[in-house]
Amino acid sequence: MMHVASTDLDQTETLALPGKRARPVSFDGLAGMYHAASGDTAILLISPWGFEELCSRMTYRLLGEDLAALGYPCLRFDLPGNGHSALASAEIDDEHAWRKAACKAYDQLRNLSQARRIIVVGQGLGGLLAADLAQERPVAGLVLLAPASQGRSHLREIAAWTAMTKAEFHVTSADGPPGGFMSAGFVMSAATVAEVRQLKPLGALPAVVQKVLLARRPENAGDVRLAEELAGHGLDVDDIDFKEHADYVSSPIFGSVPRKTLDTVLDWIRQNFPVTDPSQTPALLIETEAHIQGDGYVETLVRFGPADMFFGALTTPATYRAPKVGVLLLNAGADHSIGWGRYTVDLARVLARQGFAAMRIDHAGIGESPLWPGQRQPVMYSLRANDDVRCAIDWMVSKAGVEHVVLLGRCSGGYPAFLSAVADDRVAASVLINMRKFHWEPDEDFLKVVPRLTLTREEQFKRLVSGQIPLATILRKVSSVIWTKVDRALAPVLRNRSQHYRFERTVRERHGALTSRHTPLFLLYSAGDPGLNDLAAWAGNGFAKLSAHPNVDVHTVEGADHNLTPLAARSEVTDRVLEFLRRHFAEHIETPSETQPS
């Protein structure tokens, strides 16, 4: 085997002990993560929806870890049709599905923790559900993080944001299922839209809880009014400024963890609901994996790797559990393992129905997985990602019985899918979708990658003239473009001192290694995607150099954005991926109809 071990793989002494990790749980088709602790007050965390949830996943994990460390057992869970829970979003036909799920999660937390009182935390739409739950179950306290004040107006706000981002994501709020809703690739069924609209306004919450903490968005008149309305109903309300909110929900990649607000939440809970002697209530030990059963598939939610640092979800056909061909789905950007618009979940379940295993994971520093010792954010294009992939392959081969591992990554996820295929001969093929870089220089700073400036556009010109775009930014961008052209022209003379020369040599060597091993490589791009420029920089005009690499296929998808937001684009990508897998692994695929349950 040519896969190379990293010396850091054995350095687990600085990782938190496995017992401190949130453990996967499942109940009534819902997926959750349980933070065990032995206190008598438990915390139920209800997530926001869609893009906001994508931004908040790691923050919710950190909040759960902090609370458990203080003695508060915590449960986080995914609503029906969301996250890792069963059902496709568009398939929900129950106008009470989300409210029922919140009640089931409450009951599950009560059973797991044996707590005598429960506090509920909700953000965005999760705040509305938290308030609704407080009228169905005994809730000692509510923590509302920039909550939606009412369902209808919140949907209108999301629709406005979706309209503003149409140029980038190619969808409107009306592009979901009939009568439903769509934003950033996430969809609600018509039944879910009806349920959200029926949720009672938060300001009408009766005095059913002892204490409420409201984290208000700065300069948001609706949040100020909400605090007054809640107090007017006889509730004991404390309110704080959620100053980091705008940055926190701006992007899964560039948004930050709202540490100051979280610390305030922790202090408020400790002061108002102190933990009694935790030794009187031992923490419950739970299984190391959980299972979700769906239409034609079974999912196993696991922790794996050194000190159980990684989270993964293995999806297999419902009729048998050990397919020979397994697809390892890697994170794109900082999107956690459900993927943009939950596409990674949908893709994994389609693959399982067609006879493949599919495992989606969170790389170190993303979603449910902590950083490696000494590792820092951002983790995109970090060479440590190859260690993450190696750990996942180890698990798939040793625990799931996979014999042929296929790596699939979009954008930054394509980089470890490419490098790991070169370094590890257990990789049978790789699928790279909208991959931006075939080689990343060690001194390149991911955070300094900025969009191309187009000064011919009137709005950009006005921003330049008004000073909104600093002149230094323009000069830095222009000089970078000029230097890139000079560097490329002088590459034969400068050789290793030329970035283009190093890029071309390195990429040529990597492709050569895959070609010599006859490892299939499938390059999928949205038409016009910037990643095509990086491919052309190495392969030349018309990708002429690829003629020397018969193992490489290239396909473009029309009407797709970089994130594959439109549903039609995702459907085409899924079809192309299945076609690629069947072409190269036909003799190893068993379809569900050919097998019997074990």
pLDDT one-digit tens code per residue, 529-581: 999 998 998 898 899 999 999 999 999 999 999 999 999 999 999 999 999 99
| Distance separating alpha carbons of residues 548 and 101, to the nearest angstrom | 55
CA 297 centroid distance within chain = 21
Q: Band of the pLDDT at 445, cuts 50, 70, 90?
A: low
Over pLDDT 90: what percentage of the chain? 77
Nearest CA to 552 out of 588, 528, 523, 584 is that of 523
pLDDT at 2 over 90: no
Interval 360-365 mean pLDDT? 98
- Local structure of residue 457 (DSSP, 8 states): S
3-state secondary structure 210-265: CEEEEEECCCCHHHHHHHHHHHHCCCCEEEEECCCHHHHCCCCCCCCCCHHHHHHH
Q: Band of the pLDDT at 74, cuts 50, 70, 90?
A: very high
Mean pLDDT of the chain: 89
Task: Please report where in the chains the tokens 């809730």 appear, as a residue.
Answer: 139
List the beta bridge partners of residue 25: 32
| Distance separating alpha carbons of residues 491 and 155, to the nearest angstrom | 53
Q: If 0-12 CB within 10 Å is exposed, 13-18 middle and 19+ buried, where does residue 412 land?
A: buried
Predicted confidence at residue 484, as pLDDT, reads 57
Q: Is 307 left (phi over 0), alpha (psi -120 to 50) or beta?
A: left
pLDDT tens-place string over residues 159-179: 999 999 999 999 999 999 999
Tokens of 28: 């009534």
Collapsed DSSP state (helix, strand, coil) of residue 374: coil
Predicted confidence at residue 597, as pLDDT, reads 41
- Local structure of residue 322 (DSSP, 8 states): -
| Distance separating alpha carbons of residues 135 and 194, to the nearest angstrom | 20
Q: Which residues, 6+ apart, have CB-to-CB distance to 106 below 8 Å?
A: 44, 118, 120, 133, 137
Assess contact for 371 and 364: CB atoms under 8 A.
yes
| Distance separating alpha carbons of residues 539 and 536, to the nearest angstrom | 5
- Local structure of residue 122 (DSSP, 8 states): E
Nearest CA to 199 out of 137, 148, 146 is that of 148
**Most trustworthy range by pLDDT among 19-23, 445-449, 501-505:** 19-23
How many residues would you count in the chain? 598
Q: Which residues, 6+ apart, have CB-to-CB distance to 482 below 8 Å?
A: none
Q: If 0-12 CB within 10 Å is exposed, 13-18 middle and 19+ buried, where does residue 506 land?
A: middle
Predicted confidence at residue 227, as pLDDT, reads 92
pLDDT tens-place string over residues 116-161: 999 999 999 999 999 999 999 999 999 999 999 999 999 999 999 9
Predicted confidence at residue 440, as pLDDT, reads 87
Tokens of 202: 């938060």
Superfamily of domain 289-443+501-594: Alpha/Beta hydrolase fold, catalytic domain (3.40.50.1820)
Q: Band of the pLDDT at 192, cuts 50, 70, 90?
A: very high
Predicted confidence at residue 576, as pLDDT, reads 98
| Distance separating alpha carbons of residues 177 and 296, to the nearest angstrom | 22
pLDDT at 282 over 90: no
Cα distances from 153 to residues 125, 147, 200, in angstroms, run 11, 12, 12
Query: Matching CATH topology for 25-151+205-272 and 289-443+501-594?
Result: yes
3-state secondary structure 4-54: CCCHHHHCCCCCCCHHHCCEEEEECCEEEEEECCCCCEEEEEECCCCHHHH
Q: Is 222 left (phi over 0), alpha (psi -120 to 50) or beta?
A: alpha
Task: Please report where in the chains the tokens 């990684």 appear, as a residue.
Answer: 310
Interval 279-285 mean pLDDT? 55
- Local structure of residue 493 (DSSP, 8 states): H
| Distance separating alpha carbons of residues 311 and 370, to the nearest angstrom | 9
Task: Please report where in the chains the tokens 């959620």 appear, as a residue.
Answer: 242
Assess contact for 209 and 195: CB atoms under 8 A.
no
Lowest mean pLDDT among 96-110, 303-317, 443-457: 443-457
C-alpha angle 263/74/140, rounded to 5°? 80
**Where in the chain are the domains?**
25-151+205-272, 289-443+501-594
List the beta bridge partners of residue 314: 300, 359
Assess contact for 294 and 87: CB atoms under 8 A.
yes
Give the residue with greater pLDDT, 477 vs 58: 58
Predicted confidence at residue 538, as pLDDT, reads 86
Instruction: Tell me: cis bond preceding 378? Omega within 30 of 0 counts.
Output: yes
Over pLDDT 70: what percentage of the chain? 84
Collapsed DSSP state (helix, strand, coil) of residue 525: strand
| Distance separating alpha carbons of residues 321 and 299, to the nearest angstrom | 10
pLDDT at 92 over 70: yes
Tokens of 205: 């919450």
- Compute the CA torsion angle 267, 268, 271, 275 (nearest 10 deg): -80
Task: Please report where in the chains the tokens 């509920």 appear, as a residue.
Answer: 120
Assess contact for 286 and 83: CB atoms under 8 A.
no
Task: Please report where in the chains the tokens 């009560």 appear, as a residue.
Answer: 110
Interval 188-195 mean pLDDT? 98
| Distance separating alpha carbons of residues 95 and 114, to the nearest angstrom | 30
pLDDT tens-place string over residues 488-497: 655 565 556 5
Q: Which residues, 6+ apart, have CB-to-CB distance to 386 below 8 Å?
A: 6, 416, 419, 420, 423
Nearest CA to 109 out of 151, 135, 137 is that of 137
Q: Which residues, 6+ apart, have CB-to-CB distance to 354 below 8 Å?
A: 578, 589, 591
Predicted confidence at residue 4, as pLDDT, reads 41
> In CATH, what class is 25-151+205-272?
alpha beta
Q: Would you list the DSSP string of 550-587?
A: TTEEEEEETT--TT--SHHHHHHHHHHHHHHHHHHHGG
Nearest CA to 82 out of 91, 73, 74 is that of 91
| Distance separating alpha carbons of residues 480 and 500, to the nearest angstrom | 13
